[in-house]
Structure 1
Amino acid sequence: MRDVNVERRREAARALVEAFSTFGDDALRDVWLFDQRGHERLYLRDDVAEKIADLDVTRFVDNERYGYVTRDTYSDLYYADFAYTVRGFDGFEQFRTFLSDGDRKVGVFASFDRREGGYDFGALSDSLAEVVADYPVDAFGPE
């Protein structure tokens, strides 16, 4: 189904992680891609890897897949386009959005250590849109 070559996928993944890293600097904890069939870890900070070692990552990602439904629901209910979701946890915040081109949507989520004053997630969303403009959405699909 995917006709994007391996090197182009690597470039797209690097550009995506770079956008998250530039935004969050050392506060970036992890970056994950997912679609309806699978998921892929693009970045995982060592201390976070230790914390999730016993976590059922597949179950966690399955929960993020509900975003496909809620994204469509919000798009149908509101007068503005739905862009992203942020969840706050004690110690970190998680950002999730969907990279899309027509009907093809690939989910991406990342978490950041909490910081005083918070983050401008709208700016992150804009940065990700710039990255996605440079690659076909299939380049971001998980392997």
Structure 2
Amino acid sequence: MIEKIRIKKDTNLPINIGDVYQIKNQLYVIINILNVATISENGKQRLMAECLGQKYRSENKSSQYTSTNVEVTYGLNEVDEISFVGEFIFDSAAEIWVQVTAILSTILEKEQIKIKYEVTPVIEWGIKDVEKAILRYRKKHMHLL
């Protein structure tokens, strides 16, 4: 299962694909970095990244899906919600993350914009890759006394 998570780091500390973070007692492996910004907390600059994190030992829902076409209708006051090629969005019907790979067509009809998208499921990492990331995390954070 993939979830959108937010990571904050101090200056000079990287956020990398394959990093593991514990959030609310769950381990997540970063499989995609969606957005990066700087924020100021207590007068100190920090890096903040919105990421897609794969929950450790969770069901792989995306393996059941392939690329597909979807049509979405927007009102004229919703143009800022139109997805762009490359954008990652959550498909609430399938409960998976997908990436917009193409805008296939668009038409303006009666105060509405209809757009046909091609979307592809975000592929979850294989068990071996996740286990390697978890092992690196454990070696880094667990020390013998």
Higher helix share: 1
Q: Same fold (TM over 0.5)?
A: no
Q: Answer 1 or 2: higher relative contact order, Cα 8 Å, separation at least 6.
A: 1
Q: Pick the structure with more strand per residue.
A: 2
Band the TM-score falls in, shorter-chain normalisation: under 0.3
TM-score by length of 2: 0.24
TM-score (norm: length of structure 1): 0.24
